[in-house]
Amino acid sequence: AQKITQTQPGMFVQEKEAVTLDCTYDTSDPSYGLFWYKQPSSGEMIFLIYQGSYDQQNATEGRYSLNFQKARKSANLVISASQLGDSAMYFCAMREDRGSTLGRLYFGRGTQLTVWP
């Protein structure tokens, strides 16, 4: 079974609007971490935001926030006030802390976000 599911292959948003990228995860490990990465057309993986499973509050980093709903196993990324430079592929990932592979990330298949003027 997929550990990370991103159901939106592509999303479109107008500049200055907010957009939510969906991510659900599957784990029985009580301790885990959730990550979002951005991959622009240049190819590098850019870390955006992290949420620990025991964190009480949703993580925020500038225009990025992570809507963490633990009971639903959901970790959606919200980008506020979209900019043209936000156009990229976005990956959700999970780390299970009880696994034998220290720090290994499980990735979703990604969502291609396009911001239009």
Partner 1 sequence: IAGITQAPTSQILAAGRRMTLRCTQDMRHNAMYWYRQDLGLGLRLIHYSNTAGTTGKGEVPDGYSVSRANTDDFPLTLASAVPSQTSVYFCASSTGTGTEAFFGQGTRLTVV
Q: Which residues bind partner 1 (CB under 8 A)?
A: 4, 33, 35, 37, 43-45, 47, 50, 52, 91, 93, 95, 97, 100-105, 107-110
> Least Å distance between CB 18 and partner 1?
24
Query: Which residue, 44 or 56, has its beta carbon nearer to partner 1?
Result: 44
Which is nearer to partner 1, 14 or 114 (by Cβ)? 114
In order of 22, 38, 54, the CA distances from 76 in angstroms are 5, 14, 17
CB of 70 to partner 1, least distance (A): 17
Give the C-alpha distances (Å, rounded to integers) separating 56 from 1, 35, 70: 28, 16, 10
Give the residue carrying structure tokens 């500049």: 15
Task: Please identify, using beta-carbon distances, which residue of 16 and 70 lies nearer to partner 1.
Answer: 70
Which amino acid is present at 60?
Answer: T
Shortest Å distance, C-beta 44 to partner 1? 5
For partner 1, the closer CB: 72 or 104: 104
CB 67 within 8 A of CB 20: yes
Query: What residue type is assigned to position 115 of the chain?
Result: V
At closest approach, how far in Å is the CB of 16 from partner 1? Answer: 29
Side chain identity, residue 34: L
